[in-house]
Every structure is written in structure tokens, then in C-alpha cells.
Amino acid sequence: MANEILASFDPDALAWEKQDGLLPVIVQDADNRRVLMLGYMDRAALSATCDSGRVTFFSRSKQRLWTKGERSGHVLKLVRIETDCDADTLLVQAHPAGPTCHLGRASCFPGAPQDFLAGLDAFITQRERERPAGSYTTKLFESGIKRIAQKVGEEGVETALAATVRDTEELKNEAADLLYHLIVLLRASGLSLADAVEVLRQRHGG
């Protein structure tokens, strides 16, 4: 993993000297884009992060390397690292294995915005994997792809009808139902909402 990640930038080109060998690191959830926390890395922490695939910081209070979740198990699984325009700050995208904040919250910034649809996609993915009893989403997955596709068709028609009669409240409700069932259909087909978004991004030039 280290070679792949470090191929995107040169650690020696980073502005380590600006803050006595430490760089601030913004950690972002790779799925929903919520900012999770702020930490600091020195060269050793950056190297350990890339080698292990788990986000590691230099703890200024403990004066040592510290891997997030080393005691709680709530590690940050590395996805991507990039630098800012001045090469003095790192943006880390990661998959959190549990709450990031020591207070048990998802983020150290409780009001940090997130991409709700990406979060919903991740939630539906979890439902597909765990299949908890009594869950409507579980029931959908177990009903099979034909039934899920039928639900998407039904919700699409109901959305169109609501728009036709200019019932804005019903249109909002039906559109929400359509989006939810569409994400379930994508997951049942081995795809994700991100796959559809990527097609739109390519069509619109990035």
C-alpha cells in the first residue's frame, strides 16, 4: 500500500520545516465526506500510516506515534492521502471502524456536514451484509432483485404522478422513496450510488 499511496506525492517535498517536523492532518470519512478529526503527523507517522493502512499520528501529548483506535479498536482504515497547495497540510480519507471521537461520536466535530446520500448508501450496504431481522431493507434484499426492481418502477410512477398533479409534498415523499429503493437496487446488483454518480461526473466533465 505504501508504494501506491506515496506515488501520488513526494514526502520529501512536504513542508515539514514549517511546524517543527509536524504537519496538520484533516481526516475525512471516505464514504460520506464528513470531517472526522484533526491530528498531526511527522515523517514516521506518515510512513507507518502508509505501511499499515491504519491512520497513525504523532501524539504531541504522549510524544510518540499513536495509531487511532489502538486501544478501542476504532481504527481509521486508510483510503487516500493528498496534500494541499502549500504542501504543509494533509487530507486523509479513511473508513472509520466505529466512532472516531473519544466521546463516542462519529466525528470530533458534531456539526460537521456530510453527504447524506453517501451515508445512506453505506447504511444500506451494512444492512445487506448483516441482514438484521425485522428490517425493511433486509426484507427487500431477501425478496430478490426482481421485486426490488418492481418497487423502483412503482415508486418512479408514483413520483411522476405526484409531479403531474403538482402535489409538492407528495412529490418530495415519493422522490425520497424512489431514491431509497434505487440505492437498494444498485446494491442488489453489485453496484453503489457512487458508481452512478461517477457516470454523471464523467458526462459533465469531471
Domain with CATH 3.10.20.810 in the chain: 2-96
Name the fold adopted by 116-203. Helix Hairpins (1.10.287)
pLDDT tens for residues 26-84? 999 998 899 999 999 999 999 999 999 999 999 999 999 999 999 999 999 999 999 99
- What average pLDDT does range 140-161 have in this prediction? 98
What's the pTM value of the predicted model, to 2 decimals? 0.74
User: HEC profile for the chain?
Assistant: CHHHHHCCCCHHHCCHHHHCCCEEEEEEECCCCCEEEEEEECHHHHHHHHHHCECEEEECCCCEEEECCCCCCCCEEEEEEEECCCCCCEEEEEEECCCCCCCCCCCCCCCCCCCHHHHHHHHHHHHHHHCCCCCHHHHHHHHCHHHHHHHHHHHHHHHHHHHHCCCHHHHHHHHHHHHHHHHHHHHHCCCCHHHHHHHHHHHCCC
CATH superfamily for 2-96 is Phosphoribosyl-AMP cyclohydrolase (3.10.20.810)
